[in-house]
Amino acid sequence: MSEPIIRVQGLWHVYMPMEQLALKDVNLEIYPGEFIALVGQNGSGKTTLVKHFNGLLKPTRGAVIVNGKDTRNASVSELASTVGYVFQNPDHQIFAETVREEVSFGPKNLGFDSNRIKETTERVLAQVGLSEYIDEMPFTLGRGQRQRLAVASVLSMEPSVLIIDEPTTGLDWGESVRMMELVRTLNEKGHTIIMTTHNMAIVALYAKRVCVLRLGEKILDGPTSCVFKEVEKLKTAFVSPPQLFRLSDLMQAHEFDDCTVDGVTRYFLRLLKGE
């Protein structure tokens, strides 16, 4: 097995001066090419944890090692070539006057030459389906398009790890699927994806691994299908598995073996009758 691209070792984080404990002894290893979802209720520590991966936050105690580099001794700009961070609200990230300028800003700051900046900008805009808007003002785009632009502006710095904070917030189901299909494609092309979300349907459809946080502690970590079977532990973190997983477990518990529409209907009629 390859070395983890991110290694979290006994991580504690306390927000000062309030002395608010946000993370408590978190240990986690993330390997190249993974697609992992971090889930938990608001205040569980998800965003605090991922902000340690690109140096936005430093450990109060413990360590975070990214691609062999201790984040305590690295700046955000140093880590940007490995870890890209897409914020929950794209409007907090977008600032340039044109789509072209927005996407080319990161490569310019990393010292790419002009030819590489042009090639990279055009390539990532094609990846996210925004090539035709290259000279448009970002805030004339729709919400889903601005979210994809935020992804493009991070991709242009060519990170191997992509953190996406609540990628479907504010999007309808169609836009959510378009966004997540883009993320899936990036993962298939080799990007390590770390996603925070409250949307368990999205987790079930796309994430290969799930890490559950509760009050700053990691309580579950494993393949998505396995984690969603830990119903009682999930309840303590105020996480509810998607209905499909609950239905699957219920059917297995009753040795259900007829997956036709008529079979499912008969099964639930028997349940309603108490048979």
Residue 59: which region, alpha, beta or left (left: phi > 0; alpha: psi -120 to 50)? beta
- What are 145-161's pLDDT values in tens digits? 999 999 999 999 999 99
Dump pLDDT digits (tens) for 97-151. 999 999 999 999 889 999 999 999 999 999 999 999 999 999 999 999 999 999 9
Reading the block at residue 49, the tokens are 């944890």
**pTM listed for this prediction:** 0.86
